[in-house]
Structure 1
Amino acid sequence: MKISFHGADKDVTGSCHLIECAGKKILIDCGLFQGGRDLSEENQEDFGFDAASIDFVLLTHAHLDHCGRLPLLVKRGFKGEIITTSASKDLTRLVLLDSAHLQEADARAQAHRQQRHARNQRPVEEPLYTLYDATRCFDFFGRVAHYEKPINVAAGITATFYDAGHILGSASIFLELKEGRKSCGIVFSGDLGSRGRKILRDPVPPPPADVVVMETTYGDRLHRSLDASVKELYQAINDTFQHGGNVIIPTFALERSQEILWYLREGVEKGLLPAAMHVFLDSPMAISATEIFRHHPECYDDEASRLFKQKRDPFHLNNLHITRDQTDSMAINRITSGAVIMAGSGMCTGGRVRHHLKHHLWRKNASVIFVGFAAMGTLARQIIDGARTVRLFGEEVDVNAHIYTINGFSAHADRAELLAWQKQIQPEHTILVHGEEEVMRLFASKLKNTEVLIPSRNQSFTLPGLKEI
């Protein structure tokens, strides 16, 4: 038995971990590296294993940094079975089709630019995968996992999915491994949600295990309280409207968009936000994701379940505008005040939010509200870190807008929640992944009664003893 690491190692994107047991190879996630050009090139590199040799993929959830290289895995020879929850399966289809579309569009745009500028041409980058590749990937989704119901993956390998409370359908995975006389219980956290959130249930910790592989995204900090974060959101919107501007909220299409819609609706209903406020959901993927949310009540917490049973849509406002069409999206920028514009992507690495930022960042009466994690190298991180100007569509744009960072909305558990989750599992070995290296080391110093490992890319260890190979 052994485990090896092929993504999100001393980094926050590209989650990909490989278990080898009883003659089978099981991949936990196969995510995309996100952030900048260097990471784009990393996506093109070899996986660190033969794609055709993988028998199973157990997918924790549908975020691109956990599922985004699945079409590439298939393109390079994978013919096994992908197992995940029903909600994750639906969301992954949406995410991968969108990803493939963007990659094809980027390749066309690069080719067009090179036609216009004949000098110093570089070879046109092929898309990592195409819409055909993404569609073909769905043929390999097999059994559907149900929370807390074991699945016999193969002889000697049992997987149980537990609600991770991160996004719709997200899971932590408990693997029970047997090979000859050796046995090992190993938990993969996936991404863990924060407790007490709207819509989804709280994370459910798996049973005690020998080894835990866990995320550390916010392992160095505590989140601001949710109530305080909601108040700050309302205050930021009201202040911006009083100054005659618009609010831009870069949002992740899965979970964050739906959660912010929930709080905007509540704010209007309670008289804490103007009833005349116009809200634009300008993200085709977020629009489709919201529809998927409505079809998976098995993931809701009690309050959300009650609203749906009462035939009340928790994501609807009277002045909510759904803008799928690009022409409608462009028209939003003719509105100069009184609007909340929610658009992807959350880290501003692509999508329609970049157009809205170009039209609003230079305005002193506008505001940009960041409500999620921003990785190093992303446009969102540049703005949050105080850049005076940023480059958008080949132009330098001044950053004059008021910038808010409200981390209490994070879909990730904070340091205290991560520590409490890990303590309940009581592992002999704790492996830290999916975080910046400095954060991992700070978090490691807080762990007690466990051996801590921080693996590098392509590093391998035996199980259960975790001796480096």
Structure 2
Amino acid sequence: MIIYSCHGAAKQVTGSCHLVTCNDRRVLIDCGMFQGSEEVERANAEPFGFDPASIDVLLLTHAHLDHCGRIPLLVRRGFRGRILTTAATRELARVVMLDAAGLQEEDARRAQRNNRRDEAVAPPLYTLDDALHAQDFFGPDAGYDVAVPVVEGISARFLDAGHILGSASILLELDDGKQQRRMLFSGDLGNPGRPLLRDPTGAPPADYVVMECTYGDRPHRSVPDSVDEMYRAIRDTVNRRGNVVIPTFALERTQELLYYLHRGLREGAIPAHVRVFLDSPMAISATEIFRRHPECFDQRFLDELEHGDPFAMPGLHFTRETAESMAINNVDGGAIILAGSGMCNGGRVRHHLKHNLWRERCSVVFVGYAAEGTLARRIIDGAPSVRVFNEEIPVRAQVWTINGFSAHADRPSLLAWLGDAPRRTVFLVHGEYGRGMQVMREVLEARGFSCQLPGMHEPIKID
């Protein structure tokens, strides 16, 4: 018997986690963190919906927090199996999990300092020691398009998903002794035609497909138009003698933005005197990891590397240390500040919002997805003021939302990836229930596909 169940990103966007049981062996695909409102994030500390000690192997599609962020907790609660993923994902996941642990410990210490009623303060979900211990379970590395034996009756093939460095879709070959089935997990799919990575590998034949649909309800704006709008936002803000704050995800988005900023300075689309601060230790480390994995790059980007470093530019400052980050607050204008997190729920970007959001001559430029309930989403939706570090900050800066930089495939790209080959069922996950999921379901059913939206912890028999 083969059973599939979804334990995260079920009728919501974050927390990706899927379980396949075959021959009484249990394989987990991703173990991500829930992100959004306080209510959503409380789910991170709840039971997984399965016994972590019963999992034989974890297959990791990529290193974004909402796909790998609960792995240290999985280990802490008893997982002792192997974690298989690509080499680039392994390196990036280490950085992401250590960063998440550090932020959780820092938040717990801050809550303890601000605890004036001597009430119990929730401990961090996991510690730096837990994140380091989780590294012991990774390996061996998986290559693209190579069959990997997982457990008896299950093999896996990692296919380039084109989402972030090392990202993969995963095709499972399942054999329970009575039937053989192919089950494909899309992971997060990238947009074709982006400058750094190859396009996603199209979906191969499979009986069942578990597909993300973050942007299943709409197409993206074109990348050239989005780049031009970003340049205009920077020029307008610098001409007002303000700063540009760009909340950004450390993996892929930061590197792509550095590439476009480099190009904008070279071509004169951005004022030459502007200073660029990459204020994210994790993004700095991720950029170094990028340089170590050319096997993931698009050929055009490899050709550019022969003529110099496309991530470097005059006036670029990497700020790892806290004191260096704090010093940016003394910059009155003419600065571009890239800082995480992209949804503004953690990291150094909150400090820069506190110092710039209330200033009319500054701008905040959002270039990625913001889940409901996050600080980024509240600003995007037009809140007149937002709470940052227990202080109400008026929103007077100009707010730009540019969605063409998204690392997620839009509706046309998702449909092109899936193709027209028949499938027994397409399971839609990792999308907003009332938007991306419902629209994509209607579109697919109109094309003759059978679709299902799995419920949380719902066991589904694979026939």
With structure 1 as the length reference, what TM-score do the two structures score?
0.96
Q: Give the whole-Å Cα distance in 1 for the aligned partners of 2:209 and 2:448.
A: 13
Q: Give the whole-Å Cα distance in 2 for the aligned partners of 1:200 and 1:434.
A: 22
- For residues 304-328 of structure 1, what are the alpha-carbon distances to aligned partners after superposition, in whole Å with 9 as ceiling and x for unaligned? 2112234x11100111011111111
Contact persistence 1:151–1:158 (CA under 8 A): yes
Alpha-carbon shift at residue 337 of structure 1 (Å): 1.2
Q: Give the whole-Å Cα distance in 2 for the aligned partners of 1:6 and 1:274.
A: 48
| Range with greater deviation from structure 2 (421-430 or 371-380) | 421-430
Counterpart in the other structure of 1:334:
330
Counterpart in the other structure of 2:133:
136
Contact persistence 1:240–1:366 (CA under 8 A): yes
Runs of at least 5 residues in structure 2 that lack an aligned partner in the other structure:
none
Change (3 A) 1:425 1:372: farther
Question: What fraction of aligned residue pairs are identical, expressed as a percent?
Answer: 57
Q: Does 1:282 align with 2:259?
A: no
Q: Give the whole-Å Cα distance in 2 for the aligned partners of 1:426 and 1:348.
A: 41
Counterpart in the other structure of 2:100:
99
Counterpart in the other structure of 2:81:
80
Counterpart in the other structure of 2:433:
437
After superposition, residues 78-227 of structure 1 pair within 5 angstroms as 78-114=79-115, 117=116, 119=117, 121-227=118-224
SS of the equivalent of 1:430 reads strand
Q: Give the whole-Å Cα distance in 2 for the aligned partners of 1:156 and 1:460.
A: 19
Alpha-carbon shift at residue 427 of structure 1 (Å): 1.8
Alpha-carbon shift at residue 242 of structure 1 (Å): 1.1
Letter in 1 for 2:107: D
With structure 2 as the length reference, what TM-score do the two structures score?
0.98
SS of the equivalent of 1:248 reads strand
Match of 2:361 among 365, 373, 380: 365
- For residues 248-305 of structure 1, what are the alpha-carbon distances to aligned partners after superposition, in whole Å with 9 as ceiling and x for unaligned? 0000000000000000000111111112111000001000000000000000001221
Contact persistence 1:157–1:176 (CA under 8 A): yes
Contact persistence 2:3–2:460 (CA under 8 A): yes
Contact persistence 1:206–1:425 (CA under 8 A): no
Alpha-carbon shift at residue 355 of structure 1 (Å): 0.7
Alpha-carbon shift at residue 165 of structure 1 (Å): 0.4
Give the RMSD, CA atoms, in angstroms: 1.0
Letter in 1 for 2:81: G
Counterpart in the other structure of 2:408:
412
SS of the equivalent of 1:446 reads helix
Q: Give the whole-Å Cα distance in 2 for the aligned partners of 1:215 and 1:36.
A: 21
SS of the equivalent of 1:142 reads coil
Counterpart in the other structure of 1:237:
234
Contact persistence 1:369–1:404 (CA under 8 A): yes
Letter in 2 for 1:255: E
Q: Give the whole-Å Cα distance in 2 for the aligned partners of 1:51 and 1:153.
A: 17
Letter in 2 for 1:420: A
Letter in 2 for 1:239: D
Q: Give the whole-Å Cα distance in 2 for the aligned partners of 1:425 and 1:352.
A: 46
Alpha-carbon shift at residue 423 of structure 1 (Å): 2.0
Alpha-carbon shift at residue 424 of structure 1 (Å): 4.9
Contact persistence 2:203–2:419 (CA under 8 A): no
Alpha-carbon shift at residue 122 of structure 1 (Å): 3.0
- For residues 370-391 of structure 1, what are the alpha-carbon distances to aligned partners after superposition, in whole Å with 9 as ceiling and x for unaligned? 0000000000000000000001
Q: Give the whole-Å Cα distance in 1 for the aligned partners of 2:107 and 2:357.
A: 24
Counterpart in the other structure of 1:467:
none
- For residues 122-180 of structure 1, what are the alpha-carbon distances to aligned partners after superposition, in whole Å with 9 as ceiling and x for unaligned? 31111111111111101111221111111111222110000000000000000010111
Contact persistence 1:361–1:401 (CA under 8 A): yes
Runs of at least 5 residues in structure 1 that lack an aligned partner in the other structure:
465-469
Q: Give the whole-Å Cα distance in 2 for the aligned partners of 1:350 and 1:426.
A: 42
